[in-house]
Structure 1
Amino acid sequence: MTTGERLTVDEVRSLFLFESLDDVQLRWLTEQGRVERRAAGSLVYAEGEPATCFFVLLRGAVAMSRRVHGDDVEVSRTDQRGVYGGATQAYLDEQDQVYRNTLRAVDEADFFVLPAEDFAHAVRAWFPMAMHLLEGLFFGMRDSQTIIGERERLLALGSLSAGLTHELNNPAGAAVRATATLRERVAGMRHKLAMIADGRLDGRALHGLVALQEEAVARVADAPQLSPMAAADAEDTLSDWLEERGVGGGWDLAPTLVAGGVDVDWLAKVAETVGPADLEAAVRWLTYTLDTELLMREIGDAVTRISGLVGAAKQYSQLDRAPHQVVDVHDLLDATLAMFKGKTPAGIRLVREYDRSLPPIPAYAAELNQVWTNLIDNALGAMGEKGTLTVRTARDSDRLAVEVADTGPGIPAAVRPRIFEPFFTTKPVGEGTGLGLDISYRIVVRKHHGDIRVESVPGATVFRVLLPLTAEPITT
């Protein structure tokens, strides 16, 4: 056979793919197809290129490969006459049809070659019932996968939003309560100041008291964190000191004074400055000062927490940011973990083991956050109310590795090979769509040219995501 030669009807019929066709159909194929020869070691077609032809092996041997991490990994090798490849799905009329693998001639090989559009016409015209079934299967699964995938994303977002709302409610409520209390304390401080400054204190004593007030504010910032027992002992000491000097309600003032870093020596300075007659009014005024400062710090802490949660939500959603960017994967992980804080059971311990020396990487940040969401949600679901969630980063040769590990019961060996299949789930009907890991696989492998693996034994399941450190992600 030579390149450009036509096959006879009997030669086409001898190929198992066409053996059941009638003479009219076989004759049509002989008119549309041609023989093409490839030298040993040459490329027949390449993965990712436009799929223009359908190839059937007539003679020789071929090797099929897939691209993984930039390397061509051989997946099969055969010399069986009649095996086929190339534009095998052209009959589905998909736009931008590309070859899904690479085919090379191992030995010198001859092929019966049909243009993709002719192959598609023949399949659709000769097998209409089969085409309806194939289209229903292919497009039905694709549409279902799209709809259910979007639904799963919405459900995950709704669950995370509920947790975020709960987390925001705590500091927001604290800020509201502290503000209301602060208003009362400021009013009381104004009243006490009027009592102090009604003429009984000379100018020097009043200036001294104001200086003590500034010193009290400074002491709040440096106040030591006492244990409950140490704080109780300090409060008893201050309460006794105040009662010995006729200051009523010392037990009520002592907690605020201790929280503000005040001790007996400092109160003695106050007594020396204002005198015994005005000591109670001065102590109460200074207590109001400390209380207002502590309340303002509480409000500041609450607002900072709210700001941090909003920042985490913005980092998670990647609002107002380019889809593809250079990102620090630790920021993405922390943002996702922050979104999960409200729905993480109290019995789950979180461990972060980050290699902060890792460089930023080129990535689709919002989609990687979807991967972290799926893996963390699965880990939490596997552990239930108690366990350890470990999120770890490390370098793996020329790739960045992210591991999400849990101490749940593990994934049975029998189902482990199927966990990345679309719609496969071990959860009860209605509780899982089976698309979380499929979506994660497509984002990591197809979009970022990375890899995702799993190792699992009872008590230790680890999902390992590998991402290129420098390579541009694949977008097809």
Structure 2
Amino acid sequence: MSGQPMPCVQGEISSLFLFEKLTPEQLGRLCADGRVELFQPGPVYTEGDPATCLYVMLDGTVVLYRRVGGDDIEVTRTSQRGVYAGAMQAYLGDRVRQVYNNSMRVTEPTRFFVLPADTFAEIMSEWFPMAVHLLEGLFFGSKNTQAMIGQRERLLALGSLSAGLTHELNNPAAAAVRATSALRERVAKMRHKLGMIAEGPFTRDQLASLVEIQERTAERVAKAPSLSPLEASDREDALTDWLEDHGIDHGWQLAPTVVQAGLDVDWMEQVAAAVDEEILPGAMSWLNYTIETELLMNEIEDSTTRISHLVDAAKQYSQLDRAPFREADVHELLDSTLMMLSAKLGPRIEVVKEYAPALPLVPAYPAELNQVWTNLIDNAVSAINSAGGAGTLTVRTVLDHERVLVEFRDTGPGVPPEIKDRIFDPFFTTKPVGEGTGLGLDISWRIVVNKHHGTLRVDSVPGDTRFQVFLPLTAETPDEASGEASIEAPGEASDAASIEASVPTSEETA
């Protein structure tokens, strides 16, 4: 929007921090090409619109804010004379998308010196060519550094995940190998027993009954119930007594396998009724081999299914077969990440899932959200381990108006108040040397806020730390942060000026 035109006085313009070293001729050009405008309380420009002007405040109060989901999040509020915002990177031209990356409004009648973006770019190139080259190098160098840091963090996470995945794959693979070896041995014994039965005093009808019992036994094994240790022990004692009473001396060896298959004394009575007493020991040995082979095949099936699930989780985690930006199921992403990190979580950390039913899909970069989940879960695990290694990690999802909330809550010692404002700083870490890069939360914040226009915040007390990620449900394809708007006061360091590039304070993330 436009303000009320007012006279441009060179003396007033020269008193501003940005222009205090300019010559009278340069000030004259500023007043000729720029203008002074008075804005009444209300909006000045809107996030996402083309960045057409640089605004330097003469007097009044300015507020910068960003749109996150359905909420306006205030970033900066100041009455400092000389602060500037708007088309701060017009000198980069079309190499960077020139849009306002936040919105600005004033809370009282406020005067600005307004300079068109094209004029600002020309003046910068003509008056400060060396400075422009330095700024270009700083801008693109910073972007490259951020990309390299992000890549390094992803590689570190990949290394950790690869180690965990290798461990997780090794267990079921080793189990399948052991079961296959045992199965080969049992099948060999079964062939030997089959030869003995063929040479024994079995009639045709007895063999048919034995085969029919074998088939029904295999069906029972597939439906075996899960027993408590006490129930299994009682059944083993009863079966051992029954087998010994029926002349089977090695009954104590057969009983555990029979119980594991879900069989009991009643089933043994059915077997005894189907065959003659003199062939019962041989029949029981034959059925025992049948049970063992079925159990081993079940173990092989479980192991290979586990491997398949791990591979699917790795595929889902990496999103190798998906578009980089799409509508994603948050629960699928969370489940794949938890499975990938299951080795790191260990047996002493209980994972509780409190998922909202029928959660809508979220427009997102799934692979990058998985990196956020990885970083937040890793921090939670480290916090719990620092408090003794046992605790609870709760992963909760909630539909919050036009946003999805994903919360990670741990029972660790909490974030000390004196460092709460620094945890999102690049390279800040409380982990021992060699165990943390200090980049996880910084990168997570950039992914959530810059790429998804969401919010990342932390709320912590001892025993209850919550990292909350808010993701908007209605969003255009997020763009890489570019053309960042800035606001800077006289004498402030330039690295604190950029709203997009600066590290979030607790107020920004709250």
Which TM-score applies when normalising by structure 1?
Answer: 0.88
Supply the distance in 2 between the matched residues of 1:99 and 1:268 (Cα, whole angstroms): 83
- Residue 34 of structure 2 corresponds to 34
2:478 maps to a residue whose letter is I
Q: Which secondary structure does the structure 2 equivalent of 1:197 belong to?
A: helix
Question: How far has the Cα of 1:123 moved from its partner?
Answer: 3.6
Cα pair 1:3 1:34 within 8 Å, conserved: no
1:187-202 matches, within 5 Å, as: 187-198=188-199, 200-202=201-203
1:82-93 matches, within 5 Å, as: 82-91=82-91
Cα pair 2:457 2:469 within 8 Å, conserved: yes
- Residue 466 of structure 1 corresponds to 470
- Residue 215 of structure 1 corresponds to 216
- Residue 45 of structure 1 corresponds to 45
- Residue 442 of structure 1 corresponds to 446
User: What whole-Å deviation, never above 9, does each CA across 1:277-316 have from its counterpart, x for those lacking one?
Assistant: 3222211111111111111111111112111111211211
Q: Which secondary structure does the structure 1 equivalent of 2:257 belong to?
A: helix
- Residue 421 of structure 1 corresponds to 425
Q: Tell me, which stretches of 5 or more residues in structure 2 are unaligned?
A: 481-510
Supply the distance in 1 between the matched residues of 2:414 and 2:468 (Cα, whole angstroms): 15
Q: Which moved more, 1:308-317 or 1:269-278?
A: 269-278
Q: Using a 3 Å threshold, how does the CA distance of structure 1 residues 27 and 261 change in structure 2: closer, same or farther?
A: closer
Cα pair 1:448 1:472 within 8 Å, conserved: no
Supply the distance in 1 between the matched residues of 2:77 and 2:267 (Cα, whole angstroms): 87
- Residue 264 of structure 2 corresponds to 263
Q: Using a 3 Å threshold, how does the CA distance of structure 1 residues 296 and 455 change in structure 2: closer, same or farther?
A: same
- Residue 68 of structure 1 corresponds to 68
User: What whole-Å deviation, never above 9, does each CA across 1:369-406 have from its counterpart, x for those lacking one?
Assistant: 11111110111111112221111112223322111011
Question: How far has the Cα of 1:342 moved from its partner?
Answer: 1.0
Q: Which moved more, 1:334-343 or 1:193-202?
A: 193-202
Question: How far has the Cα of 1:44 moved from its partner?
Answer: 4.2
Cα pair 1:92 1:135 within 8 Å, conserved: yes
1:288 aligns with 2:289: yes
Q: Which moved more, 1:144-153 or 1:60-69?
A: 60-69
- Residue 488 of structure 2 corresponds to none
Q: Using a 3 Å threshold, how does the CA distance of structure 1 residues 409 and 114 change in structure 2: closer, same or farther?
A: same
Supply the distance in 2 between the matched residues of 1:346 and 1:79 (Cα, whole angstroms): 55
- Residue 406 of structure 2 corresponds to 402
- Residue 300 of structure 1 corresponds to 301
Q: Which secondary structure does the structure 2 equivalent of 1:389 belong to?
A: strand
- Residue 461 of structure 2 corresponds to 457
Question: How far has the Cα of 1:48 moved from its partner?
Answer: 2.2
1:69 maps to a residue whose letter is G
Question: How far has the Cα of 1:116 moved from its partner?
Answer: 2.7
Cα pair 1:201 1:274 within 8 Å, conserved: no
Runs of 4+ aligned residues of structure 1 deviating over 6 Å after TM superposition are 2-6, 77-81, 105-110
Q: Which moved more, 1:269-278 or 1:180-189?
A: 269-278
Cα pair 2:6 2:38 within 8 Å, conserved: no
Cα pair 2:65 2:73 within 8 Å, conserved: yes
Cα pair 1:336 1:373 within 8 Å, conserved: yes
- Residue 56 of structure 2 corresponds to 56
Q: Which moved more, 1:369-378 or 1:237-246?
A: 237-246
Q: Using a 3 Å threshold, how does the CA distance of structure 1 residues 78 and 289 change in structure 2: closer, same or farther?
A: closer
Question: How far has the Cα of 1:198 moved from its partner?
Answer: 2.3
1:208 maps to a residue whose letter is S
- Residue 375 of structure 1 corresponds to 376
Question: How far has the Cα of 1:17 moved from its partner?
Answer: 2.4
Supply the distance in 1 between the matched residues of 2:51 and 2:21 (Cα, whole angstroms): 26
Supply the distance in 2 between the matched residues of 1:239 and 1:180 (Cα, whole angstroms): 27
- Residue 99 of structure 1 corresponds to 100
Supply the distance in 2 between the matched residues of 1:162 and 1:273 (Cα, whole angstroms): 54
Q: Provide the aligned C-alpha RMSD in A.
A: 3.1
Supply the distance in 1 between the matched residues of 2:55 and 2:444 (Cα, whole angstroms): 33
Cα pair 1:409 1:459 within 8 Å, conserved: yes
Task: With a CA cutoff of 8 Å and minimum separation of 6, indicate the structure with the bigger relative contact order.
Answer: 2
Q: Which moved more, 1:191-200 or 1:115-124?
A: 115-124
Which TM-score applies when normalising by structure 2?
Answer: 0.83
Q: Which secondary structure does the structure 2 equivalent of 1:414 belong to?
A: helix
1:240 aligns with 2:241: yes
- Residue 412 of structure 1 corresponds to 416
Supply the distance in 2 between the matched residues of 1:266 and 1:106 (Cα, whole angstroms): 84
Cα pair 2:410 2:466 within 8 Å, conserved: yes
- Residue 333 of structure 1 corresponds to 334
Question: How far has the Cα of 1:39 moved from its partner?
Answer: 6.3
Cα pair 1:54 1:116 within 8 Å, conserved: yes
Supply the distance in 1 between the matched residues of 2:274 and 2:42 (Cα, whole angstroms): 98
User: What whole-Å deviation, never above 9, does each CA across 1:95-148 have from its counterpart, x for those lacking one?
Assistant: 213223333566777654433344234345545665566556544443322212
- Residue 252 of structure 1 corresponds to 253
Question: How far has the Cα of 1:273 moved from its partner?
Answer: 3.4
Cα pair 2:179 2:300 within 8 Å, conserved: yes
- Residue 229 of structure 1 corresponds to 230
Supply the distance in 2 between the matched residues of 1:158 and 1:74 (Cα, whole angstroms): 38
- Residue 475 of structure 1 corresponds to 479
Q: Which secondary structure does the structure 2 equivalent of 1:156 belong to?
A: helix
Supply the distance in 2 between the matched residues of 1:177 and 1:156 (Cα, whole angstroms): 32
Residue identity (%): 60
Cα pair 1:54 1:85 within 8 Å, conserved: yes
1:122-137 matches, within 5 Å, as: 122-123=123-124, 126-127=127-128, 134=135, 137=138
How many equivalent pairs are there? 474
Supply the distance in 2 between the matched residues of 1:225 and 1:12 (Cα, whole angstroms): 83
Supply the distance in 2 between the matched residues of 1:202 and 1:76 (Cα, whole angstroms): 94
1:389 aligns with 2:393: yes
User: What whole-Å deviation, never above 9, does each CA across 1:315-336 have from its counterpart, x for those lacking one?
Assistant: 1112212223333211111111
Supply the distance in 2 between the matched residues of 1:256 and 1:321 (Cα, whole angstroms): 46
Q: Which secondary structure does the structure 2 equivalent of 1:415 belong to?
A: helix
Question: How far has the Cα of 1:447 moved from its partner?
Answer: 2.5
Supply the distance in 1 between the matched residues of 2:459 and 2:61 (Cα, whole angstroms): 36
Q: Tell me, which stretches of 5 or more residues in structure 1 are unaligned?
A: none
Cα pair 1:38 1:105 within 8 Å, conserved: no
1:53 maps to a residue whose letter is C
Cα pair 1:451 1:466 within 8 Å, conserved: yes
Q: Using a 3 Å threshold, how does the CA distance of structure 1 residues 297 and 324 change in structure 2: closer, same or farther?
A: same
Supply the distance in 1 between the matched residues of 2:73 and 2:239 (Cα, whole angstroms): 77
Q: Which secondary structure does the structure 1 equivalent of 2:399 belong to?
A: strand
2:203 maps to a residue whose letter is D
Supply the distance in 1 between the matched residues of 2:17 and 2:227 (Cα, whole angstroms): 84
1:156 aligns with 2:157: yes
